[in-house]
Every structure is written in C-alpha cells, then in structure tokens.
Amino acid sequence: MSEISITLPDGSVKSVPAGATVADVAAAIGPRLAAAAIAGRVDGRLVDLTTPVADGVQVAIVTERDPEALELLRHSAAHVMAEAVLELFPDAHFGIGPAIEDGFYYDLEIGRTFTPEDLEAIESKMREIVSAEQPFGRCVLTRAEAEKVFADQPYKLELISELPDDAEISTYASGPFTDLCRGPHLPHSGWVKAFKLMKVAGAYWRGDSERPMLQRIYGTAWFSEKDLDAYLTRLEEAEKRDHRKLGKELDLFHFDELAGSGLVLYHPKGARVFHELVEWLSADLYERGYVEIRTPHIYKAAVWKTSGHWDYYRDNMFPLQIDEGEGKEPTDYAVKPMNCPGALLVYRDSVRSYRDLPMRLFEFGTVYRNEKSGVVHGLMRARGFTQDDAHIFCTGDQIIPEVKAMLDIVKYIMDTFGFEYSAEVSTRPEKSVGRDEDWELATRALMTALDEWGLPYQINEGDGAFYGPKIDIKVKDAIGRIWQLSTIQVDFNNPERFGITYRTAENTEEQPFMLHRAIFGSMERFLGILIEHTAGAFPTWLAPVQAVIIPIADRHLEHCDAVRRRLSKAGVRAEVYAENEPMRVKIAKAQQQKVPYMLVVGDKEIEADTVGVRERTAGDIGAMGVDEFAARVASEKP
C-alpha cells in the first residue's frame, strides 16, 4: 500500500497510508490521542475525523481542550436536540440551529407553543440519543437531491434557494434527523455528555418581523457535568447580580413604558453615582490636558449628511422635521446618535495651527439610537445613553503617542474598579469610506501603540467603524463574564467631510486626523456592568450613601443629625436612620442597601464625640472620632 506524508503541529513529518482519514492520523500518533480526538484541522481548516487527508497537508488533532471544541460540541448538541424534537413532533419544521456563546439554540415550528413538559420530554429523548452514540454522517448532495431531501421543510428550502450555483451542499445525518449543515461535527452523539435546555423564546424567521414567528429553544452543553454545574452556578450568581433587579432594590433607577422603551429614569441615588463618576473622570481629564465642550442634542440633517451618518446609520437614528417659519418648508433634523459632529463644528469655528495640536475635547454627551425592541436590555443596551466621549485632533505623527496616552487612562480606570482587560483591533469593514493608504496608516498606528504600550491584542477582521479602524477594550467581571467597554477609533473621513485643517510650520494647510475615544463607553452600560461586578456594593467613594448614622435611642437623634451635618461639610454623604425600629433592624437595612459604613451613636459616643463604626464586610471596627472617620472616607477615593 502506498503512503503519503503529512506534517504535524510540531513540524515533524509522519507517513500514513494513502486514503487515511484524520482519525487514522490520530491513531498513528497514539491510542490516547485517538480516544480523545473529536475533530481535526487540515491546513488550518476544521474538519470531521472522517475527512481523508492528502499528501503534503498539515494535520492537527482537535480534542476537547481546543479553543473551538466547545463550539463544535454545542453545534452537535443542537442537532441532537433537533433529532429529539423530530422524534417527538414528526411534523416539526426546522429553521437554523447554531452554536452560540455558552450554548446553542434551534428555531422550530410545531404548530403550538412548547410547554415546560415538552422541554423535559425533549431532554429525556436527547439522553437516549446520547446513550446510543449515533454517528454524525456527512453527505454532499446536488441541489436537486437537497431539494428532494428537504421537500417538506420550507425554511431549509429557502436556505437552499439562496446558495450560489457553485456552492457545495452538505448535510449531516444522525438517526432519523438530517440537517442542511456545513459542519464539522463530533464523531458521535455520545460526546454530548452534559447539557441542559434553558428556555424557549419567540424568534422571527431570519430576524424579520414580517416573517413567521418561530420558537427558539436555548440550551447549553459542556464536556463534563462539573463544567455544566459550574456554569449553572454562574448563572445563579448572575441572576442575583442582575443590574435591573439591584437597580430596583437599591433605588437607583427604573424604566417606565410611559416614557418609552430603553430610556432610563435615574432616582436620586442613581443620579448621585452617575454624578460622582462624571466628576471623578472629568477631574482626571483636565489634568491630562483635555478641555470640555457641550454640544446640541439635535442637528439639521445637513450635519448628518456631511458626516455620512445619514447614509450609513439612518435606520438607527430618530429623524424629525421642524417648522422653520411661515412660507418655509419644514427642515429635516435628527436627534444625535453620536457626539462627533459637535466636536468637528467646535474645531472648525476658528483657524487652527499646528501649535494647537493635539487638541483634546471631551464631552459627556447624551445620544439616542433607535435600537430594535428585541435587543434593548436595561442599562446594557438602551436607546438613550450618555457617552464619556472625547475627540482628539492631531497630526499623523501624534496618533501613536495619543493612543498610548488613552491606554494610560484605560489602565487607570480598569485598575480602579478591579477589572481584568484585554484589547482587540478591528480592521476595515466591507461597507466603509476612505483611501486604502489612510486605512493602512491608521490600522498600523493602533497596532504599534498597543505593541509599544505592552498590551496584547487580537485582530477582529472587518469589524471597524465605517470611517476608520478601532481598538476595543474588553473587561472580565467578578464572575468571569466578558464585556466590551472602551473604544479608541481613528477617523480620517470626517475631517475631510467637514473640511477642517490646520496651518503647518511651513504655512501650508493640512488635514488633521481625528481620534474618537470613550473609556466608560456608554455611562449607562458601564454603570450596569459595575453594579453586576460589585453586586451593588459600590466602593465607598462612589456609594450614593457612604454612611448611615444609627441612634441607639430617640434621645440620640438630635446629636446624630449634628454628626450628619459635620460629615456633610467634610464631604461625606451620610443619612440618619431615624425610624422607630430596633438597632439590629436598622443595621440589617443598611447591609441590604450595601451602605459602606454604619455609625452607631449612643450616650457613650456622644460623651466622647465618637461614633461606633461598622464596615459592611468587616463588621464592628471600633470607635472613631467624627473627623477621623471623615478622613478615613476621604482616603478611600482614588
């Protein structure tokens, strides 16, 4: 039998029989690897174990420890679930069933609503399918063959009709279920070891509200019961930390349908937290050479046409018409979805010199975006929100140092709040504007700045803004979830569109670059993430109420109020719990409200001019003078 040579990840070359599959390669390497193998990579492409290998290719064996293993598992779990649905509901129509972050889903139509009992039955049937270790078999069909296989599946037929004429049409079969699928898949259903169906939700076919509403069953799958249990525990913890739940319990904010979906109403405590964040970052920015601007909430459509938003972003904007007076046609306006045009208009109001650059303009500007109702989610995805925007006008040579200075701010903020973070560089999208050389210069500058600053990064191909590349900062919260937060963008499009220039040392006119940056990003989103990260227990400097003063008896109330006034003058946000309740109840209430300090006052404390201090996690930490306590609180501000 003739042999072929393949290259392994370590660079070594191995000979295998002609016609060998990826599974055969794994077996040739060793029995333990063969037993652990779930897929392979041939010249970097993920494939099934049954895929034949050709002479000269590079082959890597994929096990459950591979970064893509969970996606492979969850895609296969979606097929197992679909097979279970088919066996229980033979007339079901199937949409799509992809792997998603932490799980999978399948869109289905059965003629009625799924019940909790249905989900239990589907899970039970899935366990039977898993126990049977059914292989996932791949088959390549002609278009006519595929249309025949899916003759009674209208959604699959629609997908087939949209495939290019030269597309390879492949299916995967497991038991009686056959799906239109590119693959790859696990070797057999027995690898779907630990799974759980989570919920059912409505989902329009292809995300189009004009199309049929299907039912989407969500599930999760892991390689071990231990991992599944850990995930379910994280979900329980996330539910306890849900910012919407804590926002209500801590009296921070609410949403009101009378006001409109995605529009937050801050209560006094929430507004105080918001205010403290703004004041803290503003003070830091002034020290770093920024200056503040304030710009309108609406502009004429002409502004958005100049910026390009009218063409590229109009569906996400709130347009309106304003009557300009008798005999005049109404003028098109739009509520701003971005703050950037305001900074451009401020810049171009005066003649600028190279000596003015870099010009760093910051603004806490509220914007409004017409998000679809299905994606609006508390503070995390709102229709109205405030951005800690800044726009820096600079020369090409100043891009790298300015981006590095922004990364300094990122580090300061992330370290202050205890976030681990990483970076991602997003490159030119398909729908974009600008010259290739500008994109190349800007993208290279962002990467160089990250390299010189020392922050590792991933590349996200094609996900830049339409006007330039960007850096996205992603943070990990206290329970391990990843959130996209800060963004730094290079813009060479709007300076050209708005015709802004600066006079060089040689007395010529040049166009500056414009850098967009938001570190908190959306203030609302950051606040939501911070609430969940801290479980509502804000650091002392940010807490809306930093201390509650608890009188032991009513006769101590007057002195407690005097203590509150003293603390207020010293900059401490304090309240007196004056209700006629036992002290233990007042302490419990303060703990429930996540107040950092509880100050107990009785006869002894009045005589000594002290307060008995309880810290929310450490408990009783002893007596302290009022001024000493105020100094302690002041020392906790970053």
- Tell me if residue 387 is catalytic: yes
Each residue's pLDDT tens digit, 259-310: 999 999 999 999 999 999 999 999 999 999 999 999 999 999 999 999 988 8
Instruction: Please report the pLDDT score of residue 209 as a whole number.
Output: 84
Write a three-state SS string for 286-345: HHCCCEECCCCCEEEHHHHHHHCHHHHCHHHCEEEEECCCCCCCCEEEEECCCCHHHHHH
Region 316-329: mean pLDDT is: 86
- Cα separation, 175 vs 217, whole angstroms: 20
| Choice among 183-187, 298-302, 323-327 with the minimum mean pLDDT | 323-327
Exposed / middle / buried, residue 473 (Cβ in 10 Å: 0-12, 13-18, 19+):
buried
- State yes or no: pLDDT of 620 exceeds 90: yes
Going from the C-alpha of 63 to that of each of 23, 54, 131, 495, 629, the distances in angstroms are 12, 21, 20, 50, 57
Selected catalytic residue, list 138, 369, 381, 533? 369
Spatial CB neighbours of 103, under 8 Å, sequence gap ≥ 6: 74, 198, 218, 219, 220, 221
Instruction: Please report the pLDDT score of residue 191 as a whole number.
Output: 96
- CATH 3.10.20.30 residue ranges in the chain? 3-62
- Cα separation, 211 vs 218, whole angstroms: 20
- Cα separation, 478 vs 534, whole angstroms: 7
Selected catalytic residue, list 389, 472, 477, 491? 389
- Cα separation, 315 vs 371, whole angstroms: 9
Residue 594 near residue 538, CB atoms below 8 Å = yes
- State yes or no: pLDDT of 466 exceeds 80: no
- Tell me if residue 470 is catalytic: yes
What is the arrangement of strands in the sheet containing 482-491, beginning at the earlier edge strand?
Answer: 291-292, 359-368, 384-394, 513-522, 482-491, 470-476, 420-426, 457-460
Token pair for residue 540?
A: 């002392």
Selected catalytic residue, list 134, 153, 387, 546? 387
Any idea what the Cα angle at residue 411 is, between residues 339 and 439, rounded to 5°?
A: 50
- Cα separation, 127 vs 129, whole angstroms: 5
Model confidence, pTM: 0.82
What letter would DSSP give residue 544? S
Instruction: Please report the pLDDT score of residue 448 as a whole number.
Output: 95
Residue 175 near residue 203, CB atoms below 8 Å = no
Going from the C-alpha of 313 to that of each of 120, 344, 348, 492, the distances in angstroms are 44, 18, 24, 18
H or E stretch covering 174: strand 169-174
For residue 359, count other CB atoms closer than 10 A to its CB: 19
CATH homologous superfamily, domain 3-62 = Beta-grasp domain (3.10.20.30)
Any idea what the Cα angle at residue 321 is, between residues 316 and 325, rounded to 5°?
A: 160
Region 90-108: mean pLDDT is: 95
Domain spanning 69-233: which CATH class is it, in words? alpha beta
- Tell me if residue 139 is catalytic: no
- CATH 3.40.50.800 residue ranges in the chain? 547-635
Confidence of residue 239 (pLDDT cuts 50, 70, 90): very high
Each residue's pLDDT tens digit, 523-532: 999 999 999 9
Q: What's the mean per-residue pLDDT of the chain?
A: 94
Selected catalytic residue, list 516, 533, 573, 594? 516
Region 355-379: mean pLDDT is: 93
For residue 30, count other CB atoms closer than 10 A to its CB: 11
The residue type found at 445 is A
- Cα separation, 360 vs 471, whole angstroms: 18
- CATH 3.30.980.10 residue ranges in the chain? 69-233
What letter would DSSP give residue 353? B
- Tell me if residue 389 is catalytic: yes
Residue 406 near residue 394, CB atoms below 8 Å = no
Spatial CB neighbours of 121, under 8 Å, sequence gap ≥ 6: 88
Domain spanning 264-534: which CATH class is it, in words? alpha beta
Selected catalytic residue, list 134, 215, 269, 340? 340
Instruction: Please report the pLDDT score of residue 214 as a whole number.
Output: 96
- CATH 3.30.930.10 residue ranges in the chain? 264-534
The strand pair at 420-426 and 457-460 is best described as parallel
- State yes or no: pLDDT of 250 exceeds 80: yes
Token pair for residue 39?
A: 């897929």
Q: What percent of the chain has pLDDT over 90?
A: 89
Instruction: Please report the pLDDT score of residue 1 as a whole number.
Output: 61
Q: How far apart are the first and last CA of the chain?
A: 73
Domain spanning 547-635: which CATH class is it, in words? alpha beta
Q: How many CA atoms lie within 13 A of 387 on its CB side?
A: 25
Q: Assign 201 to helix, strand or coil.
A: strand
Confidence of residue 374 (pLDDT cuts 50, 70, 90): confident
Each residue's pLDDT tens digit, 400-451: 999 999 999 999 999 999 999 999 999 998 878 788 888 898 899 999 999 9
| Choice among 136-145, 253-262, 320-329 with the minimum mean pLDDT | 320-329
Region 189-201: mean pLDDT is: 96
- Tell me if residue 369 is catalytic: yes
